[in-house]
C-alpha cells in the first residue's frame, strides 16, 4: 500500500454520527448546552460529545460543538456503527482492523447510559 494513503492519521468517527439539520435548533443546542435531539439541558456528566462540526456560510466557516443526552447520543452512535458496518468491507472481514469501526465502538462504549 503506498505511503500517501496513510496521510489521514486521525479518524473522525464523530463525522459518521448523523445529526438533525441545524435549521430550527436553539442556540443552546448549537453550542452543546442542550441535547441536539431533545433539547434537554446537559451537564458534563450527562452530555455525550458529538465532535466539532464545521459549517460553511457566506463569509467563511464556523464550527459548532453539538452534544446529546446519553439516551439520544448513544442511540445515534449505535446507528452509526450499523451504518458503517453495512458499507465497510474491512468491518465485514475483520472488524478489529478497521480504525473507524473501532473508534466508533469506543465512542459507543463511553456513551452508554
Ligand atoms: Zn436527548
Ligand atoms: Zn469499518
Q: What is the pLDDT of residues 55-93, one digit of tens each?
A: 888 899 989 999 999 999 999 999 999 999 999 999 999
C-alpha cell of residue 40: 434537554
C-alpha cell of residue 113: 447510559
83 CA distance to ligand 1 centroid (A)? 20
Interatomic CA distance for residues 38 and 35, integer angstroms: 5
pLDDT of 4 strictly over 60 = no
How does pLDDT run across 37-55, given as a tens digit for each residue?
999 999 999 999 999 998 8
Residue 35: predicted pLDDT: 98
- Per-residue confidence band for 3, with pLDDT thresholds at 50, 70 and 90: very low
| Phi, psi for residue 86 in degrees, rounded to 5 | -70, -20
- Taking a 5 Å cut-off on Cβ, the residues next to ion ligand 1 are 35, 37-38, 40, 69, 72
Which ligand has the nearest atom to the CA of 98?
2
Of 48, 44, 16, 41, the C-alpha closest to 26 is: 41
107 CA distance to ligand 2 centroid (A)? 14
Indicate the domain borders of the chain.
Answer: 25-111
55 CA distance to ligand 1 centroid (A)? 22
Amino acid at each position: 500500500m503506498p505511503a500517501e494513503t496513510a496521510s489521514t492519521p486521525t479518524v473522525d468517527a464523530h463525522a459518521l454520527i448523523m445529526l438533525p439539520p441545524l435549521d430550527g435548533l436553539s442556540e443552546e443546542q448549537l453550542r452543546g448546552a442542550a441535547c441536539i435531539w431533545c433539547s434537554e439541558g446537559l451537564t458534563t456528566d450527562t452530555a455525550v460529545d458529538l465532535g466539532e462540526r464545521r459549517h460553511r456560510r457566506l463569509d467563511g466557516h464556523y464550527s459548532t460543538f453539538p452534544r446529546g443526552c446519553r439516551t439520544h447520543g448513544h442511540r445515534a452512535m449505535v446507528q452509526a456503527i450499523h451504518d458503517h458496518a453495512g458499507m465497510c468491507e474491512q468491518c465485514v472481514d475483520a472488524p478489529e482492523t478497521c480504525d473507524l469501526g473501532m473508534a466508533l465502538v469506543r465512542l459507543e462504549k463511553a456513551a452508554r447510559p
